[in-house]
Amino acid sequence: MASAEEMPKLGTILSPPKQGQLIKHGSTVYKTIQEGLAYILVDQKDAEPAKPPPLTQNQKTTEGDRPSVFYNPIQQFNRDLSVLAIRAYGEHATAIKQKKRKLKLKGRKTPTKKAKADEGNETEKPIETDAPSVGDQVKAESVGAGVNKRRREDEETPAENTPLKKTCTETRSNGEDMAGPVGEEIAMQAKDVIVTEHTEKVAENAAPKPWTPSFTILDALSASGLRALRYAKEIPFATRVVGNDLSAAAIESMKLNVQHNGLEDRVHPNKGDACAYMYTVGRAQGSPNEPGGIPKFDVVDLDPYGTAAPFLDAAVQSVADGGLLCVTCTDAGVFAGAGYPEKTFALYGGIPIRGSHSHEGGLRLILHAIGTAAGKYGLAIEPMLSLSIDFYARVFVRIHKAPIEVKFAASKTMISFNCDHGCGSWKTQRLAERKPQTGKDGKTFYSYGLAQGPTAAPNCEHCGFKTHVAGPMWAGPLHNPVFIQRILDLTAGADRDTYQTCPRIEGMLTTALEEDLDLGGSAKEPTPEAEPVQPNTNSQETSLLIPRVDPALIEPYPFFFIVSNLARVLRTSTMPEIQFHGALRSLGYKSTRSHAKPNSIRTNAPWEVVWEIMREWVRLKSPIKPGALSDSTAGAGILRRNRHTLNPIPGEVPGLKALKRDLLTAVDSGRSIADITMMVQAALYRSGVHQSIEIVDRHTLEGMEKNESNNEVQSNDSSTRAGSPSTCQDPSTLNVVFDGELGKKALNSHRRKRLKRYQANPRPNWGPIARAHVTNTTKDTK
């Protein structure tokens, strides 16, 4: 029998928390787990489970294998990143509120032009719109400051005065019982509003307390409450954090964790359905007859088990104007896989992409779903950061009340024609067009119209294989570069013991920042090498503000490709990545990486140039064996367009011989008139001869002139970026140089520091774990 000295000492729920500590509460022994500055209590049998036997195929997880409360340590990167991202946004939001406060105290109803410039509003080209830019937000908040006494009192209440009441009994201010999913939060808010005249007089005579801007966060699917605890502990200006969950067991666990961390005054558990609670938020805002209304949150975080699609409609309505919506989706097999297109369309309103760039397509599908949900209520979205991480996607989106900006939604939505069974190329088409025009007053406004289509033939213009449609999906930028840089500034000064995933955060965010081809400098001359990121020491208010991305901006060159996949099509050796970057730079094109996949290349070079580089690689560096490619493969169709077969006779139209051969093949192998027509169209696009033939009818000529006019307008549009070289040469005349040194300079143009851009899985079974066992969802905890 073990002696008393050998027994581990058990603490109580009020003991100071520390890593690995054993806590006994009631009849259960918990183990303390630390992440960041927060501590959670996990049942000892769940914290140290016995090694389960391997599951056979199609064997379901039993209830005994499920933890009582969901906690996945694999997503520590997600939580570390979320804390830093919300802190970066929160500094911006509190700076805006403090500026509004100063203007209010000075008696100024509208900000001056200088104030707007300080908030970054002058950094974008002016657009005639009702969009709530940073300056407009200040104006709106200043004018509306006196409309609602309840809102004014809530914003001017110091953080120390947050109500401490924590109960699941739902009552109105008159004591009448009220059933509903919002739980204790409405009761807490109602009690906070009831103030007697005596209390008001005492408050007037008391010494004024320092004013603290409110900053509220909703963790809609909180489980153990770890996110809510970390937000309250690591974001110093967070005044109220609500952790909501439907499970009674999760609420009990959350209450224990809140008490163990000593955060009863800032973290408020709420038992209820997430959608029902978010629909209640803000409904009674501004109505003095409904004192129990909950103001909208500055930040709403959705981190479900699986897809977040069912929560998006309620979430966009519970975020304050200019607030931040954080969304996680862990169903990568749905939004980034082509196995369940019907399921993807049902959840996200689009068809997924099949290919190496499927994860970026998944990000754009998620953003499309958020934008569609928000647009119905006159809300415009601004993606701040969109990442494909391990087995899930994480996006941070700013929500603006801007009905006029919603008009850009159609022109910022696209479909993609993908040669997913052939060479892997793609072509995009937007659903609508918008054209910038200049008014008599010199201001720019936009007109909207229908898009002309299609932009691609039924068969791939490069290899002749059939193409498939993906989308509709988001066609705008994925990131706000200033927001990413603010997170990197915070990461550089963060404690590595608290944020253990900082190296990966810095590497992934740097790669995401470099995805913007406009930040790469000249295509011919690489940008000078820069120093590693340093903490931001600028204490001025303007350094905290995050200006908005132009709402009309679209991404002209979405998606990426992987060189090894191109080599697989041609049955040749893989070209080193730096040599491919060097070849692109030598031709005057820009190139960079993608955060989603290693060895990926994003470029503004068209696919004609990409395949010409690969053909030259085969010709000069890595010839393939005769007979390695059959005539029916995509690689054979691409190599058929090499510069020797395209123009063998001086003075002959380029590609004419290859076109004749393709036309004869189409006639011989075609099974019907429609089949022959498609093959002829593919041959015309593949050869490029249709651009050189002089015998063109009048209608075709008019169409070509119209397309050229549209391209000219598009090139002059300030909302497009990263233009290609102005001269459009025949790919067969390009002088391709495989310059590895130029490729190294292109990749190292942003920084010299070695970064952890792509992390290998640190251990086996790196992915989602079993869903928590939900019990007593309908039973209220007393």
Instruction: Report the amino acid identity of residue 350.
Output: G
How far is it, in rounded angstroms, from Cα 228 to Cα 235? 10
Give the per-residue pLDDT at 368: 99
Instruction: Report the amino acid identity of residue 753.
Output: K
How far is it, in rounded angstroms, from Cα 361 to Cα 474? 9
Instruction: Report the amino acid identity of residue 104.
Output: K
340: exposed, middle or buried (C-beta count within 10 Å: 0-12, 13-18, 19+)?
A: middle
How far is it, in rounded angstroms, from Cα 229 to Cα 253? 12
How far is it, in rounded angstroms, from Cα 306 to Cα 328? 8
Give the per-residue pLDDT at 294: 87
Residue whose C-alpha is closest to residue 383's, from 305, 469, 393: 393
How far is it, in rounded angstroms, from Cα 571 to Cα 629? 7
Give the per-residue pLDDT at 725: 62
| Phi–psi pair at 321, nearest 5 degrees | -60, 125
Residue 501 CB neighbours (<10 A): 18
| Phi–psi pair at 435, nearest 5 degrees | -120, 130
How far is it, in rounded angstroms, from Cα 73 to Cα 55? 22
SS3 of residue 504 by DSSP: helix
Give the per-residue pLDDT at 107: 78
Q: What is the 3-state secondary structure (H, E, C) of 91-131?
A: HHHHHHHHHHHHHHHCCCCCCCHHHHHHCCHHHCCCECCCC
Q: Using the 8-state DSSP alphabet, how is residue 246 labeled?
A: S
Torsional sign, CA 79, 83, 85, 90: positive
Whether 37 contacts 233, CB under 8 Å: yes
Which DSSP helix (H) or strand (E) runs through 69? none
Q: Partners of 400 in the beta sheet?
A: 380
How far is it, in rounded angstroms, from Cα 243 to Cα 234? 16
Directed axis angle between helix 226-234 and helix 248-261, to 10°? 30
56: exposed, middle or buried (C-beta count within 10 Å: 0-12, 13-18, 19+)?
A: exposed
| Phi–psi pair at 271, nearest 5 degrees | -95, 120
Q: Partners of 438 in the beta sheet?
A: 444
How far is it, in rounded angstroms, from Cα 133 to Cα 121? 7
Give the per-residue pLDDT at 561: 98
Whether 168 contacts 252, CB under 8 Å: no
Scan for tokens 């599908």, then name that residue.
365
Whether 613 contacts 565, CB under 8 Å: no
Scan for tokens 């406004």, then name that residue.
445
How far is it, in rounded angstroms, from Cα 392 to Cα 331? 7
How far is it, in rounded angstroms, from Cα 105 to Cα 227? 36
How far is it, in rounded angstroms, from Cα 618 to Cα 38? 56
How far is it, in rounded angstroms, from Cα 107 to Cα 67? 56
Q: Using the 8-state DSSP alphabet, how is residue 402 labeled?
A: -
How far is it, in rounded angstroms, from Cα 76 to Cα 500? 8
Instruction: Report the amino acid identity of residue 195.
Output: V
Question: What sections of 235-270 are H helices per DSSP?
Answer: 248-261
Give the per-residue pLDDT at 523: 43
How many residues are given for the chain?
A: 782
Write the DSSP assignment of 619-683 as a string of letters. Answer: HHT-PPPTTSS-TTSHHHHHHTT-HHHHS-STTSPTTHHHHHHHHHHHHHH-SSHHHHHHHHHHH
How far is it, in rounded angstroms, from Cα 751 to Cα 513? 12
Instruction: Report the amino acid identity of residue 46.
Output: D
How far is it, in rounded angstroms, from Cα 392 to Cα 511? 18
Tokens linked to 331: 């169903």
Residue whose C-alpha is closest to residue 416's, from 454, 462, 451: 454
Scan for tokens 């730079």, then name that residue.
585
506: exposed, middle or buried (C-beta count within 10 Å: 0-12, 13-18, 19+)?
A: buried
Residue whose C-alpha is closest to residue 694's, from 648, 727, 653: 653
Scan for tokens 């963790």, then name that residue.
219
How far is it, in rounded angstroms, from Cα 243 to Cα 500? 24
Give the per-residue pLDDT at 636: 94
Scan for tokens 């393939």, then name that residue.
624
Consecutive 10-residue runs of the chain (782 residues): their mean pLDDT?
A: 59 91 91 95 70 47 50 87 98 95 78 48 38 38 40 40 36 40 48 43 58 96 95 98 96 96 97 96 57 85 96 98 98 96 98 97 99 98 97 97 97 97 96 94 94 90 95 98 97 95 96 86 40 48 86 95 97 95 93 95 95 95 91 93 59 59 66 70 59 38 44 48 56 86 76 79 66 50 38
